[in-house]
């Protein structure tokens, strides 16, 4: 990777904030991007080498992790989302 993981996430956060995204939204997007970088790292894929198919595979993986993490969790009235943070342990 040309830049460290920390540098990439920091640059992404700065870009989002400069585009007037709220700090909470920027933090969430950075969390998701960090999960994607973890996924790539576990598969020894450089960010510069990522193709559309790998992004699609990651999205399917993330959805599977999300579905596994909320199975059996009852919905709560008044909550906007039951989605926990993506966990790298969902391989």
Q: Yes or no: say if 63 and 46 are a contact pair by the CB < 8 Å rule.
A: no
pLDDT of residue 17: 97
Instruction: Categorise residue 72: left if φ over 0, alpha if ψ from -120 to 50, beta otherwise.
Output: left
Q: Where are the domains of the chain?
A: 5-70
Give the predicted TM-score (pTM) of the model: 0.69
> Which residues have CB under 8 Å from 58's CB, separation 6+?
36, 39, 40
pLDDT of residue 21: 97
Sites in the chain below the pLDDT cut of 70 = 1-2, 71-91
pLDDT of residue 70: 74
First to last CA, the chain: 22
User: How many contiguous H segments (helices) and E segments (strands) does the chain have?
Assistant: 3, 0
């Amino acid at each position: 990777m040309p830049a460290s993981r920390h540098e990439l996430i920091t640059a992404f956060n700065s870009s989002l904030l400069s585009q007037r995204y709220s700090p909470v939204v920027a933090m969430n997007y950075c969390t998701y991007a960090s999960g994607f970088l973890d996924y790539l790292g576990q598969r020894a894929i450089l960010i510069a080498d990522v193709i559309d198919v790998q992004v699609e595979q990651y999205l399917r993986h993330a959805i599977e992790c999300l579905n596994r993490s909320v199975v059996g969790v009852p919905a709560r009235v008044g909550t906007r989302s039951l989605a926990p943070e993506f966990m790298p342990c969902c391989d």
